[in-house]
Amino acid sequence: MPQTKWERFPITEIIHPRKENSYWLYKDHYFAVDEFDNVLKYPGASFQCNTNRKFMEKLLTHKNHPGIRVVHIPRAFIPFDVQEYME
């Protein structure tokens, strides 16, 4: 798996946001998480998550991503830039 393929966000910052920011709240989602406890996101796309654990497991198996696991996060605070929606 190429290291530059993903944007990485520490799981602790997703669970306990520390900055003043705008956030999407994802409730009861399963996220793709690497071996360093980073939640994964494709650049310019959405986070790799779903409400269905089996779907996520199948997706990661199908795409052959070694070292990536599926983690349930009851409440994930996903930062976004409000300016993107103002145009």
Cα 69 to the center of its chain, rounded Å: 11
How far is it, in rounded angstroms, from Cα 35 to Cα 86? Answer: 36
- Beta strand 7-10 with 38-41: parallel, antiparallel or unpaired? antiparallel
The per-residue DSSP string of 5-54 comes to G-EEEEHHHHHS--SS-EEEEEEEEEEEE-TTSEEEE-TTS-BSEES-HH
- This prediction has a pTM of 0.80
Q: How far apart are the two ends of the chain, measured CA to CA in Å? A: 35
Contact indicator for 51, 28 with CB cutoff of 8 Å: yes
54-79 per-position pLDDT tens digit = 998 888 876 667 788 999 999 999 88
23-55 per-position pLDDT tens digit = 889 999 999 999 999 998 877 777 888 999 999
